[in-house]
Chain A
């Protein structure tokens, strides 16, 4: 070994594996300003203001009836179909107010897809379920393009390997977990920008839940995801940011790490530690 004439220099040796260029974006995708929502005379949401950056997973948590699902549905105007509801305030997606007159709600729901608590496949084949949105929106121009988009959506939903040999069989023959991933594939097929998930794994067993959670983790590379969950550990596992709702009010929004280790608000801490009420 040669004799060194100078002491070795201190230098940073970064041993971390190289990362892909998939860091979460910082630009805001959704901005909500002073949103109030009413079921008839009952006010369900009070002055909600929140920003959701693109390509992150944001979890909404809170006790039953706190307004988190109602708020989720305001993000693609799903509440419009409920008679007697009223909205005041703004929901901006890419700086465009989705409640502005003249908004194309069908186009909005194409951009902001939704997955529900209970999987709701159509009584059609697996292929037709995923192709449904593409067909009614006339997104594809040829059957080969349609097949390609269906395959990609099923791959994105981590279901392709399980169903590729039986695409023509009924979607109802799939297990509960597979049906839910099929619904996610159906939502992904039309390439939304934002994906809303209302307790997507609450009816699933731990293995199926784990697959959905892994899927959410992978999907955030491409999509902005907002998930409502009653399962706080699930929120901790899958989300980057967590928002806590109580009695129709947004109590705290924070990074998930901060939320679950040292929340700013006592109400949040009481809820997270199970000492609520």
Chain B
């Protein structure tokens, strides 16, 4: 019996599951933003309904990591991979949670008159999605260089957040009638900014996995 091949198979299955979770998080964000910008509450509700499956997947990944640690006792690059995955899964799940929060906001706002300022958030969301996709690609290919580039690009989403924040505050002052709804959008902007931070966490774990380097909090 080739025990090493079994370990390889298990690691490969674990990788597939994380990528599945990553895909779920990406889709949740994409659909939540669609629900917000296209005022489609049905899609928003689908995002919320689907979140149980995302949570379930995270638990499965947790269990699989524990099983591999207990039964296979991985070392070196295998250990770094399993540790990274174990830490990455809850981060991806949280990204999906933020997407759910955006979906809830969409349902609330879709019952109100349309706000043009919603469009400002699209750029942030596009950037967050671009970062998430690149982070998952870097993880798949064990690519620390790309992971570092994604981390660098988080400043762009922070800049977009600051810009959006000031614009929404300005709108709240100039158009007090929409202030409550603008405040909701401010939360959406914050969710997107946090997603950027989570993607940074994913990339830091990829750098650890690839190079055994701890870069978290290095700035």
Residues of A within 8 A of B (CB): 232-233, 236, 260-263, 268-269, 272-275
- B148 part of interface (Cβ distance < 8 Å): no
Closest to A236 in B: B75
**CB contact between A269 and one of B3, B73, B77 (< 8 Å): that residue:** B77
**Is there an interface contact between A261 and B79, defined as CB atoms closer than 8 Å?**
yes
Query: Is the CB of B4 closer than 8 A to any CB of chain A?
Result: yes
When distances are taken between beta carbons in the complex, the residues of chain A under 8 Å from B212 are 261-262
Cα separation A260 to B69 with both chains bound (whole Å): 13
- B48 is an interface residue with CB less than 8 A from chain A: no
Whole-angstrom distance between the Cβ of B50 and the nearest chain A Cβ: 36
* Number of B residues, CB within 8 Å of A: 12
Residue with the highest number of chain B CB atoms closer than 10 Å, among A236, A261, A273: A273
Question: With A261-B212, A262-B212 in contact, do A273 and B80 touch (Cβ < 8 Å)?
Answer: no
Majority secondary structure of chain A interface residues (helix, strand, loop or mixed): helix
Give the 3 A-B CB pairs with smallest separation, nearest first: A262-B212, A272-B75, A274-B4
* A262–B76 touching, CB < 8 Å: yes
With the chains together, A96 CA to B205 CA distance in Å?
Answer: 48
**CB 8 Å contact bits of B107-124 with A (1 = contact, 0 = none):** 000000000000000000
**In the complex, A262 Cα to B77 Cα: how many Å?**
7
Q: Can you list 26 residue pairs at the A/B interface with Cβ under 8 Å?
A: A232-B75, A233-B73, A236-B75, A260-B75, A260-B76, A260-B79, A261-B75, A261-B76, A261-B79, A261-B80, A261-B212, A262-B76, A262-B77, A262-B80, A262-B212, A263-B76, A268-B76, A269-B76, A272-B75, A272-B76, A273-B74, A273-B75, A274-B3, A274-B4, A274-B7, A275-B4
Whose C-beta in chain B lies nearest to the C-beta of A264? B212
* Chain A residues whose C-beta falls within 8 Å of the C-beta of B30 in the assembled complex: none
Residue B143, interface by CB 8 Å: no
Cβ contacts under 8 Å, B4 to chain A:
273-275
Smallest CB gap from A270: residue in B: B76
B73 pairs with A273, CB closer than 8 A: no
Name the A residues within 8 Å of B74 (CB-CB): 273
